[in-house]
Chain A
Amino acid sequence: MNEKAPPSSSWPLKIFPLFSMLGWILVSLALVLGVFFLAPNAAQYFGENAKAARDAAENGSFLLRQLQILSATPRWLEPLAFTGIASFMIGIALEFSTIPRLLVQRGNVMARTFPLIVQAERS
């Protein structure tokens, strides 16, 4: 067998699934928060209250708390989804980083075939 250790045991190949999973979790979490937290608040705030009622909301009222949620949440929800995408990209980069080592190993194995072919040509 080839004397070099297979690159399948290298650290980037061990941790890339973690980054992929983290990416999936973050992107899904952003969607879940959008569907089950932000959307019901938006529907209630805009659908059940006329503008006059929304504008007249007093400090500490439920309407103002909803407005706070609707203004603050999208400011971190989109960056959260972007972090998920970045995590996927790190996973891809880690996978790419192992391919050169695999090709070197393939080259080493292929180099061993040449003496065999030369031997056959001589005979």
Chain B
Amino acid sequence: MQIMIGKMARMFPMLILIGLAIVITSLAIGIFNAQTAAAYFSESKAVRETSLLAQRAALESTGIWLPTFKFLGLGLILGGIVMALRLIIDRLRQAGEEVLVNLPPEHRPDLPQPPWFGLLMPMVMFIGELILIWSFAVGLRTAAVARDVFANPLPVIDSAGAGSPLLTGLQQIHATESWLVPLKFLGIGTEFLAIIMGLATIIFILTRQTAVIDQAIEIGRTLNQTEEVPALAEAAG
């Protein structure tokens, strides 16, 4: 499992590029949406509420799904950073192993085991991505409801009675929006948590490796006086 994650981590630039593409696409859609809003609000209230139904539906639905799409892009970029941290962790471990291989096996100190937060890091990152994908899916579904509701003239929506499909749609839109905003933040927060775990793992490895190297030097020094150390013999030619 960890080996597979290590291989996947090498694809971190792809995650960052996809995230960046999503954020730039969101910007383009935002600019297009702004033009629709400018055209919509340049008309009188009576015209807006009775004739420009498609524009109103587009404005309302885009306002719901676009933020979740942007957050998904940001989440993918943060996921790429987490994978880059994983790559650094793997390389640090490899470097540590390469240094210690120069000592005879019977004198070689054990490499420190990766901490629990280091092993959990990719999983936490994946959970964060799932939260963001889920919030994007909910955003799309709610946007579809908004498109249906606001395709009706505003006076019709306003006159809808309790229990009518229009009011149920309105209820769904407002209720979902109430928790969709904090859900996106939870997804981003989970990605940040994965980054914190990755950095904590790097700090753990650097601290422990320095201690192990220090220990290895002492072993090497002792061995240098009694027998041959492979790396030193190689350095001496």
Name A residues whose Cβ lies closer than 8 Å to a Cβ of B.
1-2, 6-8, 13, 16, 20, 23-24, 27-28, 30-31, 33-35, 38-43, 45-53, 70, 74, 77-78, 81-82, 84-85, 88-89, 91-92, 95-96, 98-99, 102-103, 105-106, 109-110, 112-113, 116-117, 119-121, 123
A40 to B203, CA, bound (A): 44
For A43, list chain B residues within 8 Å (CB): 171, 174-175
A117 to B137, CA, bound (A): 60
Contacts beyond the supplied A74-B178, A92-B195: 16 A-B pairs with Cβ under 8 Å: A16-B200, A27-B182, A34-B179, A38-B179, A42-B171, A43-B175, A47-B162, A47-B167, A47-B170, A88-B196, A92-B199, A99-B202, A106-B206, A113-B213, A117-B232, A121-B237
22 intermolecular pairs with C-beta atoms under 8 Å apart: A20-B196, A31-B179, A33-B182, A34-B181, A39-B178, A42-B178, A43-B174, A43-B175, A50-B162, A51-B160, A77-B181, A81-B185, A95-B199, A99-B206, A102-B203, A106-B206, A109-B210, A109-B217, A116-B221, A120-B229, A120-B233, A123-B236
**In the complex, what distance in Å separates the CA atom of A16 from the CA atom of B201?**
13
**Whole-angstrom CA separation of A113 from B202 in the bound complex:** 23
Q: Is there a chain A Cβ closer than 8 Å to B97's Cβ?
A: no
Using known A-B contacts A91-B196, A96-B199, A116-B217, determine if residue A34 contacts B174 with beta carbons closer than 8 Å: no
Q: A50, B161: Cβ atoms under 8 Å?
A: yes
Residue in B162, B189, B195, B215 with the greatest tally of chain A CB atoms within 10 Å: B189
User: Among residues 22 to 49 in chain B, which have CB atoms less than 8 Å away from a CB atom of chain A?
Assistant: none
* Nearest CB on B from A61, distance (A): 16
B185 touches A74 (CB 8 A): no
B185 touches A85 (CB 8 A): yes
User: How many angstroms between the C-alpha atoms of A120 and B234 in the bound complex?
Assistant: 9
Interface residues of B, dominant DSSP: helix
Residues of B within 8 A of A (CB): 157-162, 167-168, 170-171, 173-183, 185-186, 188-189, 192-193, 195-196, 199-200, 202-203, 206-207, 209-211, 213-215, 217-218, 220-221, 224, 229, 232-233, 235-237
Task: Say yes or no: A49 contacts B213, CB within 8 Å.
Answer: no
Query: CA of A50 to CA of B162 in the docked complex: distance in angstroms?
Result: 6
B88, chain A: closest CB distance, angstroms: 11
Query: Are B210 and A105 in contact (CB-based, < 8 A)?
Result: yes
Q: Of A24, A28, A40, A110, which contacts B213 at CB under 8 A?
A: A110
Contact A117–B235 (Cβ < 8 Å)? yes
Question: Quick check: B213 and A103 within 8 Å, CB to CB?
Answer: no
Distance in Å from the Cβ of B57 to the closest Cβ of chain A?
18
B170 & A46 in contact (Cβ 8 Å cutoff): yes
Chain A residues with CB below 8 A from B180, complex form: 34
Q: Is A85 within 8 A of B182, CB to CB?
A: no
CA distance A81 to B71 in the complex (A): 14
Closest CB of chain B to A92's CB: distance in Å?
A: 6
Known pairs A27-B189, A42-B174, A117-B232; A1 contacts B214 (CB<8 A): yes
Q: A1 CA to B214 CA in the complex, in Å?
A: 6
